[in-house]
Amino acid sequence: MNANAATTIYVSRDAAALAADADLVACSIAAQAGAAGVPVRILRNGSRGLLWLETLVEVQTPAGRIAYGPVQPQDVRSLFEAGLLQGGEHPLRLGPVEELPAFKRQQRLTFARCGLNDPLAPVPWQGLKAALAMPGTDIVQQVLDSGLRGRGGAAFPAGIKWRTVAQAASDTKYVVCNADEGDSGTFADRMLMEGDPYLLIEGMAIAALAVGASLGFIYIRSEYPHAVRTFTAAVQAAREAGVLGKSILGSGIAFDIEVRVGGGSYVCGEETAMLESLEGKRGIVRAKPPLPALSGLFGQPTVINNVLTFAAVPTILEHGAAFYRDFGAGRSRGTLPFQLAGNVKRGGLFELPFGLSLRELVFDIGGGTASGRPVKAIQVGGPLGAYVPQSQWDLPLDYDAYSAQGLVLGHGGVVVHDDSVDMAQMARFAMEFCAAESCGKCTPCRIGSTRGVEVIDRIVRNHNRPQQVRLLRDLCDTMLAGSLCAMGGMTPYPVLSALDHYPRDFGLLGDDEQAA
């Protein structure tokens, strides 16, 4: 080995790492190496998803990549003194990331490359090459056979949606990626777009081949500036490499992607509101039918999936439907990148097959609360997801097991609360959030959410409490059954689950009052 060869040091450029002073850590490493006269190559990679360890620093040594974390700028000098470049011992030394318990038990399919390299480093495009070698109907069949379901709220089988678009009679079709990841506690889309954007491009291109589309759009939320920059650069690099443009990898088949940035509206995460926004209109929900698969963007047949759905497809095409289907449980096949946030000791992204329990995820992997206090409630499925009580923490995390209990997995976001949380205030927040973010098109959502805040306030103040509880339940029933989309239709989930499982927080001291 050349003694003068530069040692590669990996420092994440992910937004979560940047928030933990990753840029300052990288600058400190460069300055310390310069002062010591040792050559280093600082490579800014994506995140490994172990966010409680950010800023995570990895060093390439003859024994492999050795990780240290969480590293702060003031730690860099002592790391060099301890032999950082040789993987030396230090209180922050973690060893190989792959051997860390929280990482080792994962089954990384979608996030297999994330955090390994520069996000814009060349990739092999194996899934896309496999798709180019087969007709579109066979691509659709592979997705159908894999059991892949949309990684959003509805968990609709992706292959059925693709087949509908493929069979639609139109000369113009579109592929649209919904990257408007607005759920609190979720960050998988952002992490993938910042850490492995080519995987998403590949998935969208495969969808285009399957349905006969020549143009795709990705709708990224404005609050993700780093993701916008990285993904835009990846699209341009893919064009220059001949992956996008007039001839995909020299096949003669055209497909390109345009990046659009949303205006910060939560409801534009709903597919039809997103389409309205893409068309330059106000982002309000469309009535169905027609379905977007038949009349979507600009009235044409459109495949709409979110980031995690498209990003799962290259693995299916590269390794086959059976390979992907072997992961998971029941009708929930493959893996889901669970995002663990809130009051949790080890927050981050953990890609695991469906079927583990919430107790395993929060306690075995997440380590319980960061505060050290008992866990009181766990919200699964974003701000409109239900609060899951302790009696249901052992349910398998799969779509059907959760649906049978009136719960949703959604995008895989899991937010932990300890016993200091006031669940009445959390229920109020859900209604307040809906009131602020409603597009206003339907009355149950627009008016119901505002009335919901008022009713919860009266319950907390003990203003004719039994009658107000009945009124809140009736109001939630109206929103569930009468709202035009999931914005109003799911807002009752956190409200009712808080009321049912934590009645004392509402001043309800017994089952009789709770039943009222």
**Over the stretch 237-289, which tens digit does the pLDDT of each residue have?**
999 999 999 999 999 999 999 999 998 888 988 899 999 999 999 999 998 89
* Local confidence band at 2 (pLDDT 50, 70, 90 cut-offs): low
With a cut of 60, say whether residue 464 has pLDDT above it: yes
With a cut of 50, say whether residue 301 has pLDDT above it: yes
With a cut of 90, say whether residue 327 has pLDDT above it: yes
Q: What integer pLDDT is reported at residue 251 of this predicted model?
A: 97
With a cut of 50, say whether residue 512 has pLDDT above it: no
Q: Would you state the structure tokens that stand for residue 456, as one six-digit string?
A: 């919860």
With a cut of 50, say whether residue 511 has pLDDT above it: no
**Over the stretch 368-416, which tens digit does the pLDDT of each residue have?**
999 999 999 999 998 899 999 999 999 999 999 999 998 999 889 999 9
* Local confidence band at 3 (pLDDT 50, 70, 90 cut-offs): low
Please choose, from the candidates 338, 347, 339, 349, the residue with its C-alpha nearest in 3D space to the C-alpha of residue 371. Answer: 347
Q: Is 115 helix (H, G, I), strand (E, B) or coil?
A: coil
Q: Would you state the structure tokens that stand for residue 394, as one six-digit string?
A: 């052992």
Mean pLDDT across the stretch 215-231?
Answer: 97
Q: What integer pLDDT is reported at residue 5 of this predicted model?
A: 87
With a cut of 70, say whether residue 514 has pLDDT above it: no
With a cut of 70, say whether residue 1 has pLDDT above it: no
Q: What integer pLDDT is reported at residue 159 of this predicted model?
A: 96
Q: State the sign of the Cα–Cα–Cα–Cα dihedral 324, 242, 230, 44.
A: positive
410-431 in b/e burial notation, b at 16+ Cβ within 10 A? bbbbbbbbbeebbbbebbbbbb
CA atoms within a 13 Å half-sphere pointing along the CA-CB vector of 39? 5
* Local confidence band at 152 (pLDDT 50, 70, 90 cut-offs): confident
User: How many Å apart are CA 151 and CA 337, to the nearest integer?
Assistant: 9
| Mean pLDDT score across all residues of the chain | 94
DSSP strands (E only) in 466-509: none
- Helix, strand and coil percent figures for the chain, each rounded to 5: 45, 15, 35
* Local confidence band at 64 (pLDDT 50, 70, 90 cut-offs): very high
Q: What integer pLDDT is reported at residue 352 of this predicted model?
A: 96
According to the 3-state scheme, what is the secondary structure of 353-403? ECCCEHHHHHHHHCCCCCCCCCEEEEEECCCCCCEECHHHCCCECCHHHHH
User: How many Å apart are CA 306 and CA 283, to the nearest integer?
Assistant: 17
Mean pLDDT across the stretch 221-248?
Answer: 97
Lowest average pLDDT, out of 8-22, 98-112, 434-448, goes to 434-448
Lowest average pLDDT, out of 26-35, 110-119, 338-347, 475-484, goes to 475-484
With a cut of 60, say whether residue 515 has pLDDT above it: no
* Local confidence band at 78 (pLDDT 50, 70, 90 cut-offs): very high
**Over the stretch 335-376, which tens digit does the pLDDT of each residue have?**
999 999 999 999 999 999 999 999 999 999 999 999 999 999
Q: What integer pLDDT is reported at residue 33 of this predicted model?
A: 97
- Type and span of the H or E element at 126: helix 126-132
